[in-house]
């Protein structure tokens, strides 16, 4: 556990020296702001909004999760690909640490950075609370759910980053994987077919709905946690199998 | 008697393939506590590959490595605790300050948090990087980066040091200091270093392993290698006015087993090294050959085989 935290700490602080990370955060906040300000006047115009004393944060969380699919790959891409390119992976893996400690350390470091990004979005719900009276429950639930979803994207991106020494390739692979997982439920419809229930359940999109309402359903938690565990295991395996390949 | 169980490092029948390339083929050796061993070989010999396997970064295709009797595959973490490693070209995080990097390594090396500062100061003093501790590693000169790499390998005072070309990129004064340091450290520790430099091995190592094309072709102290492989006797000559076919002419001389052209500064003359069969003194024959062919013999020198010559001959083909 100590090793994981030591690696996570280094990874976390490394983001503050990375221009890509700042750009990703800035884009995230800006794009989120655009939706937010387009939504808010619309909500205010509806008297029911205040009558019901519920400020609806659903669009905010929904947008966050979609933006994650595109922006978090930019955060995860460097995690292992850069180490490979610079050769620093050699020093890291010849320390007395296991591959899974390295993988978890990297993931937690990135999640730490995601937390910073999420804290920076708190201004938006704060604004809503001035205008209306959002419930604290859904707010907390929504943020926890969004954090879980973000961690899932980061774990998938970390896996992609373990396959290549090119950050660009890692980024593109992560986007493809993330988009597939996110929108797979829409595929049959786009092809003019009937919805396939298995695709529905497997798609992130499907699980976003209750999270965006701020409801943390156990089934959603199990779903995302399983994907995180699966991605972490595959990444560890990818690092271990590297020993038999080139370098 | 040293065996694979009692030796500090035991390497048995190590083979490593990179796809179709066989980088190591059937390498075996034992290294005892307190030995400073130089891994010597030309480019592409397999030195780095061997070190990557010893440190557990890559796996062997076949064969076994035991560190103090423990298999490095089964006891990876435990074994790696006892090793300090400087990879080729010292790959370090560019965006970290040297001090923060050493701190990071010290934490992973399980040094007690209250001792870390002291340890960093100590190593920085020994390796003379105190002045750059607060600088980003990416902004350091190559030599200083190499030294930070050495510092991280030594931070936990390991029993075994594995150093891949430790003095590459260092200035001459620093090379001498680092060699002294390695000798000092090697008194009660096991050190394996790789190098292309013969002076380096003779200056620091009490044992030399010569690798060539993935095979171990010589093993012993400098004196032993000279004894075992210095068998043939050689002659160095410098001639002027020789034509194209000089090598063939020299080869044609009875008792000559090989002829190698040497680097030389003098444009007008060419330098050659002739390898003779044992106990044949070719000096008179060479002189006569030169007279016959109308060459001007500027230099004729019967060499005692030094390590350089041995190395050159062993790794020629
Ligand atoms: N990742 C790799 N993929 C394919 N071949 C490799 C790889 N790494 C090394 N090799 C090959 O293995 C052989 C041994 O290389 P190695 O790096 O061990 O040599 P070396 O003795 O360290 O050489 P140098 O003195 O140049 O550092 C070479 O033929 C090299 O091309
Ligand atoms: Mg090498």
* Ligand lying nearest the CA atom of residue B47: 1
Which runs of consecutive H residues, i.e. helices, occur in chain B? 47-54, 76-81, 98-108, 113-127, 142-154, 172-185, 198-204, 222-229, 246-251, 283-293, 307-314
Ligand 1, atom 18, residue with closest C-alpha: B46
CA distance A175 to B20: 34
Q: How many CB atoms lie within 10 A of CB B69?
A: 13
Q: Are residues B169 and B31 in the same domain?
A: yes
What residues make up the domain containing A119?
2-246
Calculate how close chain A gets to B238, using CA atoms only, in Å: 46
Cα B46 to ligand 2 centre (Å): 7
Asked whether the beta carbons of B229 and B222 are under 8 A apart, the reply is no
Put simply, the answer to whether B85 touches A10 (Cβ < 8 Å) is no
What residues make up the domain containing B252?
230-315
Mean pLDDT, range A213-228, rounded to an integer: 88
Residue B277: CATH number of its domain: 3.30.70.260
Q: Write out A121-190 in H/E/C secondary structure.
A: CCHHHHHHHHHCCCCHHHHHHHHHHHHHHHHHHHHHHHHHHCCCCCHHHHHHHHHHHHHHHHHHHHHHHH
Q: Of A77-81, B50-54, B134-138, B285-289, which range is least confident?
A: B285-289
CA distance A216 to A119: 19
Decide if pLDDT at B16 tops 80.
Answer: yes
Q: Are residues B202 and B247 in the same domain?
A: no
Which residues in A56-89 are b (16+ Cβ under 10 Å) and which e?
bbbbbbbbbbbbbbbbbbbbbbbbbbbbbeebbb
Put simply, the answer to whether B93 touches A246 (Cβ < 8 Å) is no
Helix (H, G, I), strand (E, B) or coil at B241: coil
| pTM given for the model | 0.83
Tell me the CB-side half-sphere exposure of residue B82, using CA atoms within 13 A.
19
Summarize pLDDT for A6-54 with one digit per residue, the tens.
999 999 999 988 888 888 889 888 888 877 666 655 454 444 434 444 4
pLDDT at residue number A45 = 46
* Ligand lying nearest the CA atom of residue B46: 1
Put simply, the answer to whether B58 touches A6 (Cβ < 8 Å) is no
Q: Are residues B88 and B123 in the same domain?
A: yes
Put simply, the answer to whether B57 touches A6 (Cβ < 8 Å) is no
Q: Which of B171, B202, B227 is at the close of a domain?
A: B227
The count of domains in chain A is 1
Ligand 1, atom 29, residue with closest C-alpha: B44
In a domain, B78, yes or no: yes
How many angstroms separate the first and last alpha carbons of chain B? 35
In a domain, B140, yes or no: yes
Calculate how close chain A gets to B81, using CA atoms only, in Å: 5
pLDDT at residue number A40 = 56
Decide if pLDDT at A109 tops 70.
Answer: yes
Look at chain B and count its residues: 317
The count of domains in chain B is 2
Q: Are residues B159 and B205 in the same domain?
A: yes
Residue B291 tokens read as: 């007279």
Angle at B41 between CA B196 and CA B6, to 5 degrees: 110
Interface of B with A in 100-129 (CB under 8 A): 104-105, 107-110
Helix (H, G, I), strand (E, B) or coil at B51: helix
Would you place residue A125 in the very low, low, confident or very high pLDDT band (cuts 50, 70, 90)? confident
Summarize pLDDT for B281-293 with one digit per residue, the tens.
788 888 888 888 8
Residues of B in contact with A10 (CB under 8 A): 93, 96, 104
Q: Are residues B119 and B142 in the same domain?
A: yes
Query: Which DSSP letter does residue A76 get?
Result: H
Q: Are residues B144 and B254 in the same domain?
A: no
pLDDT at residue number A50 = 40
- As a whole number, the mean pLDDT across chain B is 89
Would you place residue B223 in the very low, low, confident or very high pLDDT band (cuts 50, 70, 90)? confident
Which residues in A176-209 are b (16+ Cβ under 10 Å) and which e?
ebbeebbbbbeeeeeeeeeeeeebeebbbbbbbe
In a domain, B2, yes or no: no
Write the CB contacts of B128 (distance below 8 Å, at least 6 apart in sequence). Answer: B147, B174, B177
CA distance B26 to B215: 7
Would you place residue A224 in the very low, low, confident or very high pLDDT band (cuts 50, 70, 90)? very high
In a domain, B1, yes or no: no
Asked whether the beta carbons of A6 and B101 are under 8 A apart, the reply is no
In a domain, B69, yes or no: yes
* Owner of token pair 């973000």: A150
Q: Which of B204, B227, B250 is at the close of a domain?
A: B227
CA distance B110 to B182: 23
Q: Which of B98, B105, B29 is nearest to B63 (CA)?
A: B29
Q: Are residues B179 and B287 in the same domain?
A: no
Report phi then psi at B86, rounded to 5. -115, 105
Asked whether the beta carbons of B49 and B204 are under 8 A apart, the reply is no
């Amino acid at each position: 556990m100590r090793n994981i935290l030591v690696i996570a700490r280094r990874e976390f602080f490394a983001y503050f020296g990375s221009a890509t990370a700042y750009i990703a955060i800035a884009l995230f906040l800006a794009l989120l702001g655009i939706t937010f300000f387009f939504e808010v006047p619309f909500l205010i115009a509806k008297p029911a909004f205040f009558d019901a004393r519920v400020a609806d944060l659903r669009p905010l969380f929904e947008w966050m999760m979609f933006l994650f699919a595109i922006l978090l790959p930019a955060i995860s891409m460097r995690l292992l690909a850069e180490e490979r390119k610079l050769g620093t992976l050699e020093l890291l893996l010849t320390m007395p640490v296991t591959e899974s400690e390295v993988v978890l350390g990297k993931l937690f470091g990135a999640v730490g950075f995601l937390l910073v990004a999420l804290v920076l979005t708190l201004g938006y719900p704060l604004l809503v609370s001035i205008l209306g009276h959002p419930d604290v429950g859904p707010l907390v639930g929504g943020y926890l759910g969004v954090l879980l979803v973000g961690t899932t994207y980061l774990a998938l991106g970390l896996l992609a980053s373990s396959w290549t020494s090119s950050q660009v390739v890692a980024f593109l692979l992560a986007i493809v994987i993330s988009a597939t997982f996110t929108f797979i439920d829409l595929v049959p419809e786009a092809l003019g077919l009937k919805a396939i229930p298995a695709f529905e359940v497997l798609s992130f999109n499907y699980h976003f709905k209750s999270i965006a309402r701020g409801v943390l359903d156990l089934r959603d938690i199990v779903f995302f946690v399983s994907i995180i565990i699966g991605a972490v295991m595959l990444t560890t395996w990818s690092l271990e199998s590297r020993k038999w390949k080139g370098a | 008697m040293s065996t694979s169980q009692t030796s500090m490092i035991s390497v048995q029948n190590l083979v490593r393939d990179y796809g179709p390339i066989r980088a190591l083929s059937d390498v075996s050796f034992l290294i005892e506590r307190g030995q400073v061993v130089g891994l010597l070989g030309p480019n592409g010999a397999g030195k780095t590959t061997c070190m990557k396997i010893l440190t557990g970064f890559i796996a062997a295709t076949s064969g076994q490595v035991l560190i103090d009797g423990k298999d490095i595959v089964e006891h990876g973490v435990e074994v790696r605790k006892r090793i300090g490693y400087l990879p080729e070209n010292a790959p370090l995080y560019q965006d970290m300050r040297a001090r923060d990097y050493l701190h990071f390594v010290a934490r992973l090396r399980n040094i007690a948090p209250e001792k870390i500062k002291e340890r960093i100061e100590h190593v920085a003093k020994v390796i003379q990087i105190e002045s750059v501790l607060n600088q980003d590693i990416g902004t350091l000169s190559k030599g200083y980066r190499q030294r930070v790499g050495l510092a991280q390998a030594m931070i936990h005072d390991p029993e075994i040091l594995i150093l891949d070309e430790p003095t590459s990129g260092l200035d001459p004064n620093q090379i001498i200091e680092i060699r002294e340091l390695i000798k000092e450290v090697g008194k009660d520790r096991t050190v394996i270093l790789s190098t292309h430099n013969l002076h380096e091995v003779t200056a620091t190592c009490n044992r030399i392993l010569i690798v060539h094309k993935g095979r171990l072709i010589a093993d012993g102290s400098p004196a032993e290698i000279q004894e075992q492989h210095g068998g043939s006797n050689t002659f160095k000559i410098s001639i002027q006015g020789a034509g194209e076919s000089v090598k063939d002419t020299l080869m044609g001389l009875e008792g000559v087993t090989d002829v190698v052209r040497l680097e030389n500064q003098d444009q007008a003359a060419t330098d050659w090294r002739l390898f003779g069969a044992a106990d044949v003194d070719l000096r008179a024959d060479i002189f006569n050959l030169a007279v016959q062919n109308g060459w001007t013999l500027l230099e004729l020198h019967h060499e005692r085989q030094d390590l350089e010559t041995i190395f050159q001959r062993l790794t020629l083909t």
